[in-house]
């Protein structure tokens, strides 16, 4: 969640900087230092998104979908089952979590692509308006995807907090 929040902050900055620097009537004489800074900035952002989705999928999500032992009455430590146990909260899982767990992956795909394009073209993006615009659109989409994931992450945590722990009871249904 922390990585995701950092990404949202960084993404808004990257969108503004990309638009400002590489628009056709943008500032003259972009220095090498400026360009190196933006490249480093995007590289850190890409790293943040990969950290976010990988820790989300492989550390937090197993806790979220942990299965309680038979007969467990208190579902507090089993967020998915807690949400599914009440009609009032079931949509937090069936819409919120189901959307979040997939849409979040569009952010690292988009930012990695943007990072590669900026590394390759740098200031030449100014003379490639289609490329600049489509990269900006992908960055906006990654901001939206990260925002959706962050919103539902916060709401899910409010309704059924992921506590974590050392032991994960894995789903064994249908095996």
Partner 1 sequence: MPAHNATSPAATPNGFGAAAVLGAGIGSVALAVMAIAADRVPALGRVLDFYQPTGPLSGVTTMGLAIWLIAWVCLHYRWRNRNVALGSIAATALILLVLGMLLTFPPVADLF
In the complex, what is the shortest distance from the CB of residue 96 to partner 1, in angstroms, rounded to a whole number? 9
d(CA 143, CA 114): 13
Rounded to the nearest whole angstrom, what is the least distance from the CB of residue 57 to partner 1 in the complex? 6
By CB under 8 A, name the one of 8, 44, 75, 144 that touches partner 1: 144
Q: Tell me which DSSP letter residue 105 carries.
A: T
| Residue ranges in 56-91 assigned as alpha helix (H) | 61-64, 79-84, 90-91
Residue 17, both tokens: 């900087």
| Residues found in the chain | 175
Decide if residue 95 touches partner 1 (CB under 8 A): yes
Residue from 81, 121, 157, 159 in contact with partner 1 (CB under 8 A): 121
Q: Is 65 in the site for partner 1 (CB under 8 A)?
A: yes
Measured between alpha carbons, how far is 116 from 26 in angstroms, rounded to an integer? 21
Of these, 47, 141, 155, 157, which contacts partner 1 (CB under 8 A)?
A: 141
Among 3, 7, 78, 138, binds partner 1 (CB under 8 A): 138
Q: In whole angstroms, how far apart are CA 139 and each of 7, 60, 82?
A: 11, 25, 35
Are 49 and 56 in contact, with CB atoms under 8 Å apart? no
| Contact call for residue 133 and partner 1 (CB under 8 A) | yes
Positions that interact with partner 1 (CB under 8 A) = 53, 57-58, 61-62, 65, 94-95, 98-99, 101-103, 105-106, 109-110, 112-113, 116-117, 120-121, 124, 127-128, 130-131, 133-135, 137-138, 141, 144-145, 168, 170-171, 174
């Amino acid at each position: 969640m922390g990585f995701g929040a950092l990404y949202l902050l960084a993404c808004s900055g990257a969108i503004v900087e990309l638009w400002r620097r590489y628009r056709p009537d943008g500032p003259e004489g972009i220095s090498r230092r400026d360009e190196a800074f933006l490249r480093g900035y995007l590289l850190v952002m890409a790293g943040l998104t990969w950290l976010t989705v990988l820790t989300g999928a492989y550390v937090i999500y197993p806790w979220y979908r942990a299965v309680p032992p038979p007969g467990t009455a208190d579902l507090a430590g089993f967020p998915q089952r807690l949400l599914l146990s009440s009609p009032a909260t079931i949509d937090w899982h069936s819409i919120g979590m189901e959307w979040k767990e997939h849409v979040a992956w569009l952010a690292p795909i988009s930012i990695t692509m943007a990072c590669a394009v900026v590394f390759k073209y740098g200031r030449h993006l100014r003379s490639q308006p289609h490329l600049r615009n489509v990269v900006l659109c992908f960055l906006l989409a990654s901001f939206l995807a990260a925002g959706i994931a962050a919103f539902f992450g916060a709401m899910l945590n409010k309704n059924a907090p992921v506590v974590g722990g050392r032991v994960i009871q894995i789903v064994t249904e249908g095996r």
